[in-house]
Every structure is written in structure tokens, then in C-alpha cells.
Homo-oligomer: A and B are copies of this chain.
């Protein structure tokens, strides 16, 4: 099972991810980012790529889609907060959106 990040690990990871637009969710030990694409097809294409990665990791996002925008929240329910899995999935999402 994924372990919750300790304070130092969490600070480092959150600071790193802030560079690409991730932020901490108010009132939750979770991170969020809004991804914008040129079209619905681009947005859903990206979601499809992420879905395959997420299933392979057995770690899934909370996400919503309206046309070409996707809002993502990542947290690890089993760890009751952020774990290495969230950081890994966030980075993968950024890479797939490039």
C-alpha cells in the first residue's frame, strides 16, 4: 500500500509540481490542476492516455471534463493523503499533455 509522504517529502514534491501549475486543494491533502486543450478530442484523447497509465499504476484520478478543459484532483485514499503515487501520476499527466 502507498505510504503518505512525510512533511519534508511533501513540501519538496508540492514545490516541484507548483512549477507546472499544480496546487494544494483547500482543506484536503490533495493536489489539483486544470488542463486546457484545443478541443474536446484533444482533451479526451489525453484522458484516454492517462486512463491507461492510471489503471496500470492502479492509482486513479478524480477528474471532471467540460469540453476542452479537464480538472484533476489527486490524492491517495488508502494513505489518507498525498503519496508518491500522486506525484508520479501528476508528472505523467504533465508529460502526456506536452
Contacts and interface: CB of A to CB of B under 8 A. Distances in A.
B64 A64 contact: yes
A2 interface: no
A62 interface: yes
- In the complex, the count of this chain's copies comes to 2
A35 interface: no
A56 to B, nearest CB: 11
Interface stretch (A18-26, A40-48, A78-86, A88-96): A40-48
Contacts of A40: 51, 54-55, 60
Contacts of A61: 65
7 contacts: A40-B51, A40-B54, A40-B55, A44-B48, A48-B48, A62-B64, A62-B65
